[in-house]
A and B are shown apart, each in its own frame.
Chain A
Amino acid sequence: MDAASELGWWGVLIAVFGGAIRVSTPYLFVSLGETLTEKGGRVNLGLEGILVMGAMSGYATAVVTGEPWLGVLVAGCAGAALALLHALVCNLPRVNDIAVGISLFIFGTGLAFFLGKAFINPTAPRLPHIELGAWSTYPQIRSALEINVLFIIGAILAPVLAWSLKNTKWGLVLRTAGDSSEATLALGYNLNFVRTLGTVVGGFLSGVGGSFLSLYYPGSWNEGLSSGQGLMAVALVIFARWNPMHCFYVSLLFGGATAIGPALQTIGITSNYYLYGAAPYFLTLALLIYSSSTKHRLAGAPNEVSISR
Chain B
Amino acid sequence: MTKSPHSQAAPPDITVTNMTKRFGSLVALDEVSIHFKPGTVHALLGENGAGKSTLVKCMMGYYHADAGSISVDGTERRISNTRDAHRFGLGMVYQHFTLVPSMSVAENLVLGEEGLPAIINWKKKLSALEAFLDTMPFRLELDRTAASLAAGEKQKLEILKQLYLGSRFLILDEPTSVLTPDEADEVLGLMRQMADEDRISILLITHKLREVEAYASDVSVLRHGHLAGQGKVSAKSEASLIRWMIGRENVSKPAARKETKVVRTVLEVEGLTVNNDKGTVAVDQASLSVSSGEIVGIAGVSGNGQSEFVETLAGQRREEAGDIRVQGYPYSRTRAEMMDWHIHLLPEEPLNNGCVREMTVAENLAFRNFDREPNCRAGIFIDRGAIHRQARRLIERFNIKTQGPDARIETLSGGNIQRTVLARELSDNVRLLIVQNPCFGLDLKAVAEIRNRIIDARNKGAAVLLFSEDLDEILELSDRIAVIFEGKLVYETLASEADVHTIGRHMASHA
Contact = CB atoms under 8 A, between A and B. Distances in A.
A94 interface: no
Contacts of A168: 118-120
B403 interface: no
Contacts of A182: 94, 96, 98
B132 to A, nearest CB: 18
B263 interface: no
Interface residues of A, number: 25
Contact of B100 (A167, A175, A295, A297): A175
A221 B252 CA distance: 79
A223 B110 CA distance: 48
B118 A176 contact: no
A179 B116 contact: no
B83 A293 contact: no
A186 B279 contact: no
Contacts, number: 67
Nearest to B81: A188
Chain B, interface residues (CB within 8 Å), range? 20 to 34
A222 interface: no
B102 A297 contact: no
A167 to B, nearest CB: 5
B448 interface: no
B110 A187 contact: no
Contact of A176 (B96, B103, B117, B119): B103
Nearest to B111: A172
* Most chain A CB inside 10 Å of its own CB: which residue of B82, B116, B278: B278
Contacts of B94: 182, 186
A168 B117 CA distance: 8
B101 interface: yes
A17 B86 CA distance: 55
B441 interface: no
Interface in B97-114: 98-103, 107, 110-112
Contacts of A180: 98-101
A175 B111 CA distance: 11
A285 interface: no
B82 A169 contact: no
B498 to A, nearest CB: 36
Given A168-B120, A188-B83, A295-B279, A179 B101 contact: yes
A189 to B, nearest CB: 10
Interface in B163-186: none
Nearest to A308: B278
Contacts of A166: 122
Contacts of A295: 275, 279
Nearest to B165: A187
Interface string A218-239: 0000000000000000000000
A188 B120 contact: no
Contact of B98 (A167, A172, A186): A186
Interface string B63-97: 00000000000000000011100100000101010
Nearest to A301: B102
A170 to B, nearest CB: 7
A152 B103 CA distance: 30
A147 interface: no
B280 interface: yes
A167 B81 contact: no
A172 B81 CA distance: 22
A40 to B, nearest CB: 13
21 contacts: A167-B120, A169-B117, A169-B118, A172-B103, A172-B110, A172-B116, A175-B102, A175-B103, A176-B100, A179-B102, A179-B103, A180-B99, A183-B100, A183-B111, A186-B92, A186-B94, A188-B86, A296-B279, A297-B278, A300-B102, A303-B102
> What are the 9 closest A-B residue pairs judged by CB atoms, nearest first?
A186-B98, A183-B98, A295-B279, A179-B100, A188-B82, A169-B116, A188-B83, A176-B100, A187-B112
Given A169-B120, A172-B111, 20 more contacts: A166-B122, A167-B119, A167-B120, A172-B120, A176-B100, A176-B103, A179-B100, A180-B98, A180-B99, A180-B100, A182-B94, A183-B98, A183-B99, A187-B111, A188-B83, A294-B275, A295-B275, A297-B279, A300-B102, A302-B102
